Structure 1
Amino acid sequence: MAQRPFDFVIVGGGTAGCVLANRLTADPRIRVLVLEAGRPDYWWDLPIQLPIAMGMPVGNEHHDWLYESEPEPGLQSRRLHHPRGKGIGGSSSINGMIYQRGHRADFDRWAAECGTPEWDYAHCLPYFRRLENCLDERDDAYRGHGGPHTLSRGPADGPIFAAFLAAAEQAGHTVLPDLNGAEQEGFAPLDQGVRGGRRESAARAYLHPARRRRNLEVRSRVMVTRIHVDGGRAVGVRYRQGNDSESVVTAREIILCAGAIGTPQLLQVSGVGDADQLARLGVPVVDDLPGVGESLQDHLAVHLQHVCREPVSMAHVRRKVNWPGIVAEALLLGTGPGSRNPMQAGGFVRSTPDQSHPDLMFLLAPLAMHSSERSIPIGEHGYQMHVGVMRSSARGSVRITSPDPSQHPAIRLNFLTGAEDRQRWVDAIRIGRELLAQPAMERLNGGESLPGPEVRSDDEVVDWVARTARVGLHLACSARMGIDEGAVVDPTTLRVRGLDGLRIVDAAIIPSLTNANTYAPVLMLAEKAADMILGNTPLPPEDPATAPTSIAVGGPGTAGEPAEAEPATA
């Protein structure tokens, strides 16, 4: 007997695609197909499974799309590598596993940009809580327990972390119980997506538990080449598997979850985008949407490094002779340095008192990892602080250069071209240096190796940033939702403007970048999107700061899953 048609085709098995695959197929009447261009996230593939190996997939053609930017004018015309996950789990299989929601003001700004309160903090908080399974004691008014995605707070133990948090207080900052709780401004141990010594990717949290459902089909190594539109409605997609000729699969709805680069690229090669740009490339115009591929944003980051006077860092993890033992402890016991990202403490501060909310992020690792220019040699003790400027007026773009979907698009971020970027970076390096120079760090401080004592003046700091800064791996906003002429997606339905049967659910639709990592917001966005797509009653808004309430969190029942369906947790 032939199977009935698919209700939904999800293009992309990354973070949002995994969430939707789970939540949509919780109803056994709904048939879903997930198409992923990369390979499966094999359990034995340690570079994507072992937290300490997080740097290994980056730059590896099996795990990373290997995108490269056009020359960036604000960064001395350097071409930057933009790592994007290639495989089941998407970038959640290669990211740093640090879970940060962002400041409440970011989501209130989303609501203003979208013209609806449905995206403000009070409406997003219940979905953050629903997805979370916090293993540590948290404030239940703000955090979730029993959700699909496990979160564990980094222990941040040892002399370096103790000194760092003490230094934060000495510098006048607050040490908080939870950066994802009532307040974000301050320092604390960090939440990480790890479970039992392994990475908790979106695939592990959401997709794997749903794979046994008969109404879900997942195909990997499948390159979607076009969205098939008929009479103003998306009715299917064309795809290619290996060297096979193109095939077509149809569905009631198409949901793009290919990310901030892949989604606008697929729209453009399908004729959805700026009509003039598409016409110049010979692409027939299906829907003239000038905002497709525009407003691209990411964070920029540098590393401050110090030599450590005492042998108390994690320098031993960089010696290959120690790797077998580190791997074994993480896999067999779920403990040890291999079981976590070394950056286990950090915080958010304002570059100047007149900022409305924090615009700088600092993360500390008790070892000096490979960075730019002269890093501390392998085997020598040191510590490293990640410094990120989290707000900029600079905007970039993703634009195809060929109708061929296998050709990478032109990517520009225009880093360091925002009106306040220069001063924010001067302030960021100053504040970071002041933090690491506090009396609490004096016993450990063997001197700054990066950027080094020769980088002092404002001009020297900005030149160093332009010469060495890297991307934050938080690409977003390239097919943003909103109500202005540049918006691509309707914020009330997540449908692409001007087309029926086509929605986008991934980082591309974020209206503007949050002041933190984007993994948590994309998980939340996809959870909220699932209710919108299914027509479920949305979770009621709540703001514990003004009117504490209690909601059911975590379990699949909150997403309208029938009692007989498989649970959403592993």
Structure 2
Amino acid sequence: MQTYDFIVVGSGSAGSVLAERLSASGRFSVLVLEAGGSDRRFYVQMPLGYGKCFFDPAVNWNYKTEPDPGLAGNADHWPRGKVLGGSSSINAMVWIRGAREDYDDWAAEGNPGWGWADVLPAFKAIEDNATGADAWRGAGGPVHVSHCESNVHPLTKRYLAAAEQAGLPLNPDFNGAAQEGVGVYQINTKDGRRMSAARAFLRPAMKRRNVRVETNALATKILFEGKRAVGIEYEQNGRTHTARAGREVILAAGSINSPQLLQLSGIGPAPLLQGLGIPMVHANANVGANLQDHVGINYTFKGRTATLNQILRPWWGKALVGAQYLLLRSGPLSLSMNNAGGFFRTDPGQTRPNMQLYFQAFSTVIPKNGERPILSPDPWPGFSIGLSNCRPSSRGEIMIRTNNPRDYPRIVANALSTNSDVEEMLAAVKFVRRIAAMPAMADYIVEEILPGPSVTSDDDLIQDFRKRSGTVYHPVSTCRMGPDAGRAVVDARLRVHGLEGLRVIDASVFPGNITGNTNAPTIMVGWKGAEMVLEDNS
């Protein structure tokens, strides 16, 4: 059995950061276990290759939820990265920190060190912003953040003008002084390539002698001596291996796999684990509970002149943008599917935005087997205005079904299961139509394709968004942080309550969800978590 100072389970948005920061001094040895394989794949590195990864089992866990009454009985598809870099290698790359109030709420819940004043320095240290540093933004950090104003589709300007006509201010930086308003999204890319956590953190760390990364290595059990975690059992190429941690075991496997591994290892709801014949190490009903996620929907329209559909769909267009990308690392393939978006309040009484907007200068109404048809969009000039809720009150859970680590857990999302979530979604889709009805957009729109002009009553709108809504891939809080072991899984230093030598450092520890995309906050949690580990092992 080999011994390392730290074993990190998962090489995703937080795990990659941990590998780099824990190994940087050269004092400590780090083993990283990744269930997936290499990220050196064309469609992982090409930003708009996201659609090719959406169902690809080579890089994607391809989870599916239980049929959800809140989504009209649909079993929602949940892509999660199974590859070096985790979900940061297959996401849409929109770089959003969240609202400052989100983090102040974390601290107010009894988590010192996680308020806005505490996390802002970490965000700035992480970033290499294309426009340089200021009071809000960092430069020289590992993650390059690109500004895309000069490269987005011309239709984006119409969207921004319409949103402004609908009452939203233009916002040049959602990560700056204020979040509310509309603007072009910044994305984590550099030189036309995805700037995943693997590219920014893990690849540099892998050059060090004190870092070992094992791919295709599925962690199956945390090993304990009494109440202290001392190692990991994992399967690789049909064989079972064990590795020992001299200092700490750190789970960075994400909001699905981290609670799953805890439960498989005897940490979780006692009735569930005892019923599956798993020896109890520590009972905690919160492991896998408190699941939160953002739910979204697109409204799709047909336009009067060409959108990206007319360049991405035909063979000659694919050849043109392909050559542009291969030769110049520019063009549509170098961008996110979301050119622009924004944040707004469905109720002026809200203290901060509770809804996020997305603008896509293409449409994918016609499905394509085996992939999300971003690179083969609809034949007509289509575009979409999408939205998602930011702080839903609905809660779900993730619980193992069996004691077999290769069996996927049971994901119960409970989307749109509260009246408040339904009411704010109803108000939000009406606002999307308001944007589309503004002069800047109305002159361009031929017709609304989805849900269509016949869907007008509140009941019909609710029925429509129940049928067509789904995750926007931001599950959090299944190992939530908090001071009370009766309500949380980890403390403010991300140590698992009731155990020693074991931490969870990933999106599962969020006390509550973030106003926006969760990738940047997860990288920040990895950064601050690494600081805590180093402080406690100094």
TM-score category by the smaller chain?
A: over 0.9
Q: Give the equivalent residue in structure 2 for 1:554.
A: none
Q: Does 1:57 align with 2:53?
A: yes
Shift of 1:248: 4.0
Shift of 1:354: 1.0
Name the amino acid aligned to 2:487.
G
| Higher mean C-alpha deviation, range 474-483 or range 327-336 | 327-336
Shift of 1:329: 2.1
Percent of pairs with identical residues: 40
8 Å CA contact 2:310, 2:317 repeated in 1 = no
The runs of 5 or more residues in structure 1 that have no matched partner are: 538-559, 561-570
Q: Give the equivalent residue in structure 2 for 1:132.
A: 127
Shift of 1:323: 2.5
Query: Matched residues in 2 for 1:460 and 1:172: separation?
Result: 26
8 Å CA contact 1:197, 1:331 repeated in 2 = no
Shift of 1:397: 0.4
1:127-158 Cα shifts (integer Å, max 9, x gaps): 010100011256x0000111000010222644
Query: Matched residues in 1 for 2:18 and 2:245: separation?
Result: 18
Name the amino acid aligned to 2:84.
I
Query: Matched residues in 2 for 1:256 and 1:377: separation?
Result: 38
Q: Does 1:173 align with 2:173?
A: no
Q: Does 1:39 align with 2:51?
A: no
Query: Matched residues in 1 for 2:17 and 2:490: separation?
Result: 19
Superposition map of 1:373-384 within 5 A:
378-384=378-384
Q: Give the equivalent residue in structure 2 for 1:488.
A: 489
Name the amino acid aligned to 2:113.
E
8 Å CA contact 1:372, 1:468 repeated in 2 = no
Query: Matched residues in 2 for 1:503 and 1:425: separation?
Result: 36
1:370-391 Cα shifts (integer Å, max 9, x gaps): 4789x99723212111211222
Q: Give the equivalent residue in structure 1 for 2:266.
A: 271
Shift of 1:75: 1.4
Q: Give the equivalent residue in structure 1 for 2:359.
A: 364
Matched position secondary structure for 1:56: helix
Q: Give the equivalent residue in structure 2 for 1:21.
A: 19
Matched position secondary structure for 1:23: helix
8 Å CA contact 2:286, 2:479 repeated in 1 = yes
Q: Give the equivalent residue in structure 2 for 1:94.
A: 90
How many residues in Structure 1 have an aligned counterpart in Structure 2? 530
Query: Matched residues in 1 for 2:188 and 2:442: separation?
Result: 32
Superposition map of 1:171-210 within 5 A:
171-210=166-205
Q: Does 1:323 align with 2:318?
A: yes
The runs of 5 or more residues in structure 2 that have no matched partner are: none
Taking a change above 3 Å as real, the CA distance of residues 267 and 312 of structure 1, as seen in their structure-2 partners, is closer
1:408-427 Cα shifts (integer Å, max 9, x gaps): 01001101112301211110
Shift of 1:64: 0.8
Matched position secondary structure for 2:240: coil
Taking a change above 3 Å as real, the CA distance of residues 305 and 321 of structure 1, as seen in their structure-2 partners, is same
Q: Give the equivalent residue in structure 2 for 1:147.
A: 141
Query: Matched residues in 2 for 1:82 and 1:254: separation?
Result: 27
1:309-328 Cα shifts (integer Å, max 9, x gaps): 02254531133443243233
1:292-340 Cα shifts (integer Å, max 9, x gaps): 0000111111111111102254531133443243233223312111101
Q: Give the equivalent residue in structure 2 for 1:226.
A: 221
1:31-80 Cα shifts (integer Å, max 9, x gaps): 101010100111xx122111111111111111110111111121122111
8 Å CA contact 1:393, 1:419 repeated in 2 = no
Name the amino acid aligned to 2:518.
T
Shift of 1:186: 0.5
1:321-370 Cα shifts (integer Å, max 9, x gaps): 43243233223312111101131211000011111210111110111134
Matched position secondary structure for 1:130: helix
Q: Normalized against structure 2, the TM-score is what?
A: 0.95
Matched position secondary structure for 1:520: helix
1:16-42 Cα shifts (integer Å, max 9, x gaps): 010011111111111101010100111
1:231-276 Cα shifts (integer Å, max 9, x gaps): 2100001011111134344432100000000000000010000111
Taking a change above 3 Å as real, the CA distance of residues 178 and 281 of structure 1, as seen in their structure-2 partners, is same
Q: Does 1:69 align with 2:65?
A: yes
